[in-house]
Structure 1
Amino acid sequence: MDNFIPCRNFTLQEEGGFVDNPCDPGRATKYGITIKTLSAWRKRACTVQDVKALSSFEAGAIYRAWYWIPGLPPGIDLMTFDFGVNAGDRESVELLQRAAGFVGDFVDGVCGPETRGRVSACNPVELIKALGIAQEAFYRKLPTFVEFGDGWTKRTDRREAVALGMVPKKMQIAA
Structure 2
Amino acid sequence: MDFNFDIAAQFTASREGLYQCLHSDAGNWTFGAVGQGNLVGTMRGISAPVMVRWLGDASMVTKTVMQSITQDQFNAISRCLYWRAINGDQLPAGVDLLLFDFAFNCGVARAAKQLQRVLCMQPEQIDGDIGELTLAAVLRAPVQDILLSLSDRYRRRLQDDLGVTSDGIIGPGTLKAVKAQDARLRVLIYACASQQEAAYRSFKGFAQFGRGWLGRLDQRVEAAVALLTAMPALA
Instruction: Calculate percent identity across the aligned residue pairs.
Output: 31
2:80 corresponds to: 65
The residue correspondences of 1:153-168 to structure 2 (distance < 5 A) are 153-168=214-229
The alpha carbon displacement at 1:140 in A equals 1.1
Structure-2 change in CA distance of 1:53 and 1:99 (3 Å): same
Gaps of 5+ in 1: none
The alpha carbon displacement at 1:13 in A equals 0.4
Point out the more displaced range, 27-36 or 60-69. Answer: 27-36
Q: How many residues align?
A: 172
- The one of the two structures with greater contact order (alpha-carbon pairs below 8 A, sep at least 6) is 1
Residues 1:47 and 2:66 are matched in the alignment = no
Structure-2 change in CA distance of 1:17 and 1:29 (3 Å): same
The alpha carbon displacement at 1:23 in A equals 4.7
The alpha carbon displacement at 1:152 in A equals 0.6
C-alpha separation in 2, matches of 1:164 and 1:118: 20
2:96 corresponds to: 77
C-alpha separation in 2, matches of 1:43 and 1:167: 37
The residue correspondences of 1:1-175 to structure 2 (distance < 5 A) are 1-27=2-28, 28-45=41-58, 46-68=61-83, 69=87, 70-121=89-140, 123-168=184-229, 170=232
C-alpha separation in 2, matches of 1:137 and 1:23: 25
The alpha carbon displacement at 1:132 in A equals 1.0
The alpha carbon displacement at 1:92 in A equals 0.8
The alpha carbon displacement at 1:149 in A equals 1.1
Structure-2 change in CA distance of 1:152 and 1:103 (3 Å): farther
Point out the more displaced range, 119-128 or 35-44. Answer: 119-128
C-alpha separation in 2, matches of 1:96 and 1:89: 11
Structure-2 change in CA distance of 1:23 and 1:139 (3 Å): farther
TM-score, structure 1 length as denominator? 0.90
Structure-2 change in CA distance of 1:22 and 1:119 (3 Å): farther
Task: Say if 1:139 and 1:145, in contact at 8 Å, map to a contact too.
Answer: yes
For residue 96 of structure 2, give the secondary structure of its aligned residue in structure 1. Answer: helix
For residue 130 of structure 2, give the secondary structure of its aligned residue in structure 1. Answer: coil
Point out the more displaced range, 130-139 or 25-34. Answer: 25-34
C-alpha separation in 2, matches of 1:148 and 1:52: 24
C-alpha separation in 2, matches of 1:149 and 1:47: 30
The alpha carbon displacement at 1:21 in A equals 3.8
C-alpha separation in 1, matches of 2:199 and 2:26: 16
C-alpha separation in 2, matches of 1:148 and 1:23: 15
Task: Say if 1:23 and 1:147, in contact at 8 Å, map to a contact too.
Answer: no
